[in-house]
Every structure is written in C-alpha cells, then in structure tokens.
Amino acid sequence: MAILGTVGLATLLPARGGTATGLSHATVFVIGLLFFLYGARLSPKAAWDGVKQWRLHLVILGSTFVLFPLLGLAAEAASEPVLGPDLAKGVLFLTLLPSTVQSSIAFTSLARGNVAAAVCAASFSSLAGIVVTPALASVVLGGAVRVDGSAVTSLTAQLLLPFIAGQVARRWIADWIGAHKPLLTVVDRGSILLVVYSAFSEGMVSGVWHSVSLPRLGTLVVCCAAVLAAVLTLTGLASRQLGFARPERVTLVFCGSKKSLAAGLPMAAVLFPGHALSLMVLPLMLFHQIQLMVCTVLARRWGHEAELPQPAAILTARPAIPTA
C-alpha cells in the first residue's frame, strides 16, 4: 500500500527542478546506506555455517540466476510486440535480480521450512547479486543498460563498497543493529519508497506514462504472474526430484522464486539512464506485489498442513474366539 501511495504522490506531485536534483542526491545516499546495513547484518559465521547445505544453495542460486533469466528471455520475446521494448526489457531485468532476504525468510518460517538454510541462501543470493546482476544485465540487455566506466564506478561506490564497509563495521555495530531492528526496517522501506518516488517523478515529468495503456498494463500483470507460476512449479518439481526433505523443499521454493525490490530499484537507478528508469522498474514493482500475495497464501497453507497431526497407524487385531 505504501508503494502504491508513493506512486500516486509522484503522479500528482512529481519532483521538478532543484527538488528533483536534491532528491537524486538523497537517493544515492540512501542506496549506499541500504547496502551498508545489508553488510552489517550478514554474519560471516552464519554464511560459513550455511555452506553445509551446499546442494540446496546451488539449486537456489541456479533458480535465481539461470532459470529466471531463461524465463525472462522467453517472456521478453513473447511480450515485446504488446508491451513495447522498455516494459519488455523491464520484465527481463527483474528476472536477473537476486532473491529477497526478509520475505524469503518470513515465508519459509511461516510454512515451517528450514529457516537457517533460508537465511544463508537469501544472504548468498544478495551478495552474489551485487556482481552477477550487473554482469548478466550487460550481456542480455545490451544497449539498454549503461555499462561504461562511470556505471562500474557507481555500482562499486553505491553497492559494493558500502556492503564491505558494513561487514567491517559489523564487529562494532552488530549489537546496536540487533537492538534497533524496527528503526532499520523504517530505513529499508523508506529507501525503497524514495527510489520509487524518484523514478516515477522522472517518468511523469518526461511524459513516459502516457504510453502505458490499460491493455498494456494488464498484459504486464499476466506476464509477471506467468513467470512466477512457472518458477514456483519448476522449483517445486525439482525439490522433489532431487530428494530434499520437506523443510528444504519449502526453503527452495520460497528462496528460489523471489526477486528483491530492495536490491532491484537501487541497481536499476544506477544501470538505466534518464526517463527509461520508470518503465524499466514497473514490472519489478508489479512482480513484487504478486509474489507477496501468492506466497502468503502458499506459506499459510503449507504451515497449516505441517501443524496437522500425522495419522497414527491403526493396529487392528482379530479378536480371539473363545472355544468350548
């Protein structure tokens, strides 16, 4: 609801002139702060302990950075005649992103999955995404993405260096972070809303939203839902074929089917220049809403099923027939 409200605010009162310039500088700052906090939260010990589940992590990373991009290429080719190049490339871009952290862990816990493995898998995905997502984007998106020296410098300065700084500072601020989780949640969500407002304001000022008709928007929703349905189905089948126990199957489905809005919006702000940004991130925001609604239903149902008592074996014996 906050994201939708921010979009509405940007539609009615977009930032212009000096306000837009100040907003751009603020966005750069909060992106760096966001990745600093990611680095400070990730415990090296927890990451090292998670290596024990290496098969599970490899499959989740394969779903995130191999299966998803392949589906994204197919979705882009199928939808571009209707959506146009910018929105179709936005669909492809969302499939290149790392998995979420908070929602992957929350859904895994709700569904009674392996929470420790989910923490490690989501953390690995976020860490890998800092490098893998821009690399994949430069390959599959071609001229749509800015891959010159300034882009590499921006990615390093806004994403990688703050993350490393957070890891270094963790020894001094880990306790403070643990004691102020609600405040950090506000920072997380506030940074996302700031990026959303900035992107949609720029889109309104440049007039790109006049090109998004209701039929195109409906097609985009169907496209995002189809990608999610395909990933949920394939990860569910793979988890059974590979012989994972139920808790690990739950972890694979939820961690392997998510795409991070928190990481995706800052990366898009760095990679995509000018007015194209607002259209490029629209598929990601729609996918984010769809995955939250669908996975909430699945997690609640699976969690309820896990709490049901297992049917006990009913032993019956033939009664003895008394004899004379």
pLDDT tens figures, 288-313:
878 888 888 898 899 888 877 655 43
pLDDT tens figures, 20-38:
778 777 877 877 777 787 7
pLDDT of residue 141: 81
pLDDT of residue 93: 93
pLDDT score of 113 more than 60 = yes
Question: Has residue 309 been placed in a domain?
Answer: no
Q: List, in order, residues 6 or more apart from 112 with CB less than 8 Å away.
A: 247, 250, 302, 303, 306, 307
Q: How confident is the model at residue 152 (pLDDT cuts 50, 70, 90)?
A: low
Q: How confident is the model at residue 147 (pLDDT cuts 50, 70, 90)?
A: low
Number of domains in the chain: 1
Spatial distance between the Cα atoms of 256 and 236, rounded to a whole number of angstroms: 10
User: Would the CA dihedral through 281, 286, 289, 295 be positive or negative?
Assistant: negative
Average pLDDT score, the chain: 79
Q: Which of 55-69, 121-135, 174-188 has the lowest mean pLDDT?
A: 174-188
Q: Is 100 helix (H, G, I), strand (E, B) or coil?
A: coil
Spatial distance between the Cα atoms of 56 and 239, rounded to a whole number of angstroms: 9
Question: Has residue 24 been placed in a domain?
Answer: yes
The structure tokens listed for 82 are 């209707």
pLDDT score of 126 more than 60 = yes
Q: Which of 118, 164, 101, 144 is nearest to 279 (CA)?
A: 144
CA 255 to each of CA 49, 137, 158: distance values in angstroms, whole numbers, following the listed order = 18, 21, 25
Question: Has residue 315 been placed in a domain?
Answer: no
Spatial distance between the Cα atoms of 256 and 232, rounded to a whole number of angstroms: 8
Q: In one letter, which amino acid is 247?
A: P
Q: How confident is the model at residue 70 (pLDDT cuts 50, 70, 90)?
A: very high
Most confident range, picked from 7-16, 240-249, 305-314: 240-249
Domain containing 204 equals: 2-304
Question: Has residue 96 been placed in a domain?
Answer: yes
Q: Which of 75-89, 178-192, 307-321 has the lowest mean pLDDT?
A: 307-321
Q: Supply the CATH number for residue 179's domain.
A: 1.20.1530.20
pLDDT tens figures, 100-110:
877 787 788 88
Q: What percent of the chain has pLDDT over 90?
A: 22
pLDDT of residue 54: 83
Q: Is the pTM of this model over 0.85?
A: no
How much of the chain is helix, strand and coil, in % rounded to 5?
80, 0, 20
pLDDT of residue 68: 96
pLDDT tens figures, 307-319:
776 554 333 444 4
Question: Has residue 319 been placed in a domain?
Answer: no
Question: Has residue 117 been placed in a domain?
Answer: yes
Q: Which of 75-89, 125-139, 158-172, 176-190 has the lowest mean pLDDT?
A: 176-190
pLDDT of residue 63: 95
Spatial distance between the Cα atoms of 269 and 265, rounded to a whole number of angstroms: 6
CB 111 within 8 A of CB 95: no
CB 124 within 8 A of CB 50: yes
Spatial distance between the Cα atoms of 92 and 312, rounded to a whole number of angstroms: 49
pLDDT of residue 208: 61
pLDDT of residue 319: 40
Question: Has residue 161 been placed in a domain?
Answer: yes
Q: Which of 308, 231, 192, 250 is nearest to 67 (CA)?
A: 231
Question: Has residue 50 been placed in a domain?
Answer: yes
Beta carbons within 10 angstroms of residue 96's beta carbon? 25
